[in-house]
Amino acid sequence: MSTFDSPLAEKSLEFAIALVTHMRPVKGCGIIKDQLLRSGTSIGANIREAQYGYSSDDFIFKLQTALKECNETGYWLDVVEGAQILPVDIVKDLRYKRNRIHRMLSASLNTMKANMVRK
């Protein structure tokens, strides 16, 4: 698994794998399961794409897309928790991992934007 030595890429890959692992055995809940998996795995895909951005603007755009997907994932985790689709301890762990990625994405975006203003 190549993550280009990026802690953010590594954490997002770990999160995607955890989501798939925990959601795989869930029966039913089709749209909720699909939406959670789609948004949760999209975070890392957009981070990986950003690493090959052709400009600073493209890099920022991809990270902002990852941040939007991260926010959507938070919503679907709320639904999963409220509907008791997964045990509370698993949802708590997934939410912790998602929140950590959210903070890292926000910090990266703030740094990039500040660096662009200085140029």
CB half-sphere exposure, 99, CA atoms < 13 A: 8
For residue 87, give its domain range. Answer: 7-118
Amino acid at 10: E
Q: Give the model's pLDDT for residue 1.
A: 44
In angstroms, rounded to a whole number, what is the distance separating the alpha carbons of residues 22 and 41? 13
Find, among 44, 47, 49, the residue nearest to 15 by Cα. 44
* Residue-wise pLDDT tens digits, 9-55: 999 999 999 999 999 999 988 999 999 999 999 999 999 999 888 88
Task: Say if CB 47 and CB 66 are below 8 A apart.
Answer: yes
- Average pLDDT of the segment spanning 62-85: 97
* pTM, to two decimals: 0.90
3-class DSSP state of 84: coil
Q: Give the model's pLDDT for residue 50.
A: 93
High-pLDDT (> 70) share of the chain, %: 95
Q: What is the total count of domains within the chain? A: 1
Q: Give the domain CATH number at 48.
A: 1.20.1440.60
Q: Give the model's pLDDT for residue 67.
A: 98
Decide if 34 is inside a domain. Answer: yes
In angstroms, rounded to a whole number, what is the distance separating the alpha carbons of residues 72 and 2? 26
High-pLDDT (> 90) share of the chain, %: 80
Q: Give the model's pLDDT for residue 2.
A: 47
